[in-house]
Structure 1
Amino acid sequence: MTGFPWLLVDQNSDGADAVVAACADIDGLFADPGEPPVERYTLLGCTPAGRMRTACDGFGPTWLGNIGLEAIHRSDSKHPRECWECTEELLDVTVVDVRPAGFGVFDVTCEARLRIDPEQRKRRRGPDRAPEADGYVLTGITGEGEEKFGTCQDVAGVFRPRPERAPRPATLIGCRPEPRLQRAIDAFRRGAARHRRMIIASIFSVAYDGTATHMLDSGLGAEVSGVRPSALGDDLVDVTFESLYGDAIKGGRPLGAREIWECWRAGRPTEAGRWAAYPSALRHEWAGAALAHHRPGPDRPSGTTYHLDGRHVTDEDGFYCAIGEAINGPGGYFGWNAGALHDCLLGDWGAAPGFRLVWHDSAVARRHLVPGYDRRDWCPAITMDHLLAWLAEDGVEVELR
Structure 2
Amino acid sequence: MCPAMAMNEQGSKDDSQYLMKGVKQLYEKGHLQTVPKKYILPASDRPTKSVEDPNADNQNLQLPIIDFAELLGPNRPKALQSLANACEQYGFFQLVNHCISDDVVRSMVDVSGRFFDLPFEERSKYMTSDMRAPVRYGTSFSQTKDTVLCWRDFLKFLCHPFPDFHSHWPSSPLDFRKVVATYAEETKHLYLVVMEAILESLGIIEGKESEEENILKEFDNGSQMMVLNFYPPCPQPDLTLGIPPHSDYGFLTLLLQDQVEGLQIQFQDKWLTVQPIPNAFVINVGDHLEIFSNGRYKSVLHRAVVNEAKSRVSVASFHSLPFNFMVRPSPKLIDEANPKRYMDTDFDSFLAYVSTKEPNKKDFLNSRKLTYLQLESKLKKQ
TM-score range (shorter-chain normalised) is: under 0.3
Structure with higher helix content = 2
Length-normalised TM-score, structure 1: 0.22
Length-normalised TM-score, structure 2: 0.23
Query: In terms of Rg, which structure is larger?
Result: 1
